[in-house]
Homo-oligomer: A and B are copies of this chain.
Amino acid sequence: MTAARSRAERLAGTQARLAQDVDVWVASASPEGEPYLVPLSFDWDGEALLVATPAASPTGRNLIATRRARLGLGLTRDVSMIDGDVEVVELDALPEDQAERFAARSGFDPRDEPRQYRWFRVTPRRIQAWREADELAGRELMRDGVWLD
């Protein structure tokens, strides 16, 4: 365990992951409180994470019903946790350049898939980042959708 990072260091690490990582853990829940979790590829446009999954999959059904997701970026001992609001976008309703950017980053184009996919835009409301227990203090990076100074 090294020294706890400053907020600026955690922010830089989180923004690097948002810009460069390909996969994110996506937790969702049914309206009855049944948890679900799956890794998905994502893109980040500076304001929201874009993921795609079939509308009829457990994650798709949950996000359509509850419009809430909690995302885990990174590794278990170097995480950025993101609580977000979910917007559901029909496959052909996303601007072409955004779909192309997602396909280039993820190596996967949901528009080519036989199952009925949807886009899900997850806008962060809260972001936290920590490595180990000594970093639990000061883990908050965004609150109510606003990056902390």
Contact = CB atoms under 8 A, between A and B. Distances in A.
A129 to B, nearest CB: 12
B68 A35 contact: yes
A27 B37 contact: yes
A39 B70 contact: no
B72 A25 contact: yes
Contacts of A71: 37
Contact of A27 (B32, B36, B66, B79): B36
Interface residues of A, number: 31
A27 B34 CA distance: 10
Interface in A55-77: 62, 65-66, 68-72, 75-77
A29 B34 contact: yes
B33 A76 contact: no
Interface in A99-127: 108
Contact of A31 (B33, B39, B77): B33
Interface of A: 23-25, 27-39, 62, 65-66, 68-72, 75-77, 79, 81, 108, 133
For the complex of A and B, 3 pairs with smallest distance between CB atoms: A29-B29, A23-B76, A39-B76
